[in-house]
Amino acid sequence: MRMTAADTLAGLALAALLLSGCATPPPAALSGYAGTEGGIQFLSVPADAEVAVDGEPRGRVADYSGPNVLWMERGLHVVEVRRDGFYTFFRQVEITGGLVEVFVFTMRESREVETRADKAGRR
């Protein structure tokens, strides 16, 4: 049997789902959970990229990897992950009480475009 790209992606999605089950439990047990918090975990690189939620700094990707969860109130939030030399990752996420969203991504290195003004400044 030959593996296709779709099979590989499905396997990665399943691994992320299984890993999310290893996360820190929500503030209360999921059965009958009545709280308003949900969370985010990162399975991404680089681990030293900075995380902001709704424009507020919240630490680094490594702070919310493995068993660690970035807990926040239920509702719509904007997540930003940035690091110098890389394209910024933006995602709008709907946080649901008691659930953990797992972000799996690799940041792409940016290639800055040199402008005529930059070249003129070096002369």
d(CA 89, CA 93): 13
Tell me what pLDDT residue 98 has.
Answer: 84
Record the tokens describing residue 53, joined without a space: 């939620």
Tell me what pLDDT residue 84 has.
Answer: 94
Helix H or strand E encompassing 93 = strand 89-95
Kindly give the confidence (pLDDT) of every residue in the chain, 123 residues in length, as a single tens digit, with 9 standing for 90 and above.
565 555 555 555 545 544 544 445 544 444 445 567 899 999 989 999 999 999 999 999 999 988 899 999 999 999 999 999 999 999 999 998 888 999 999 999 998 655 555 556 655
Tell me what pLDDT residue 27 has.
Answer: 47
Tell me what pLDDT residue 55 has.
Answer: 96
The pTM score is 0.62
d(CA 41, CA 17): 11
Tell me what pLDDT residue 117 has.
Answer: 58
Record the tokens describing residue 62, joined without a space: 């490594």
Q: What angle do CA 74, 75, 77 make, to 5 degrees?
A: 115
Helix H or strand E encompassing 17 = helix 5-20
Fold exhibited by the domain 35-110: Immunoglobulin-like (2.60.40)
Closest to 92 in 3D by CA, of 109, 77, 113, 70: 77
Helix H or strand E encompassing 115 = none
